[in-house]
Chains A and B, each alone.
Chain A
Amino acid sequence: DAGVIQSPRHEVTEMGQEVTLRCKPISGHDYLFWYRQTMMRGLELLIYFNNNVPIDDSGMPEDRFSAKMPNASFSTLKIQPSEPRDSAVYFCASRLQGTEAFFGQGTRLTVV
């Protein structure tokens, strides 16, 4: 398996634009997590899914953030409209119940 695949690796966008980050989890994994990494808060859990169903989205900072998992092999994190303070590295991770999570290489988002 190629591991967790995130795209794009880098995204630069203008304030106010919509941004969509994509994630393909490891095949067979039933949990998917979205994180944001910042200097102040480290790895901040935004939302996680179990069997494609959102379980806990309490970490999503604002209504501008939304996440979907239409099937077991794909998830998106959308920011609309984007703001400069959303600039960070966003990670996706997947795992099986009770095991460690595997992370993608992240998407570095810069909002100017």
Chain B
Amino acid sequence: DQQVKQNSPSLSVQEGRISILNCDYTNSMFDYFLWYKKYPAEGPTFLISISSIKDKNEDGRFTVFLNKSAKHLSLHIVPSQPGDSAVYFCAASGMRFGAGTRLTVKP
């Protein structure tokens, strides 16, 4: 029973453009959400979070949007940089993770 879903296994964007990573969830009881970034041979590292009482949270080039009615959140990276190339995981409170999206930013 996957309560958090990332339906796009991969995404490729050009350097300087926007990257949009999407995540859907099924449990309306989740009260906060997190995004993690993972490089090969390393553990995931925390990137940004959002509480369910908000619909947007911004931290530098990273913005997370939450649409509670649609049970959907997205991570926007603007502008994308080659160093952003990694696997991005969406997680919900209770630390349930999605399957991840591999982002490749091309120079």
Say whether B100 contacts A103, CB under 8 Å: no
Give Cα A37 to B46, complex, Å.
17
Say if the beta carbon of A105 comes within 8 Å of chain B. Answer: yes
Say whether B6 contacts A91, CB under 8 Å: no
The stretch from B14-22, B37-45, B76-84 touching chain A is B37-45
| B interface residues, Cβ below 8 angstroms from A | 2, 6, 32, 34, 36, 41-46, 49, 89, 91, 95-100
Give Cα A106 to B41, complex, Å.
8
| A interface residues, Cβ below 8 angstroms from B | 4, 33, 35, 40-45, 48, 91, 93, 95, 98, 100-106
Q: Which residues of A contact B32 (CB under 8 A)?
A: 98
Give Cα A50 to B6, complex, Å.
27
Say whether A103 contacts B45, CB under 8 Å: yes
Q: How far is the CB of B100 from chain A (nearest CB, A)?
A: 5
Say whether B42 contacts A93, CB under 8 Å: no
Say whether B46 contacts A43, CB under 8 Å: no
Give Cα A83 to B80, complex, Å.
41
Say whether A104 contacts B96, CB under 8 Å: no
Say whether B42 contacts A42, CB under 8 Å: no
Give Cα A95 to B91, complex, Å.
14
* Given A42-B6, A42-B89, A43-B100; A102-B95 close (CB under 8 Å): no
Within 8 Å by CB of B43, from A44, A48, A93, lies: A93
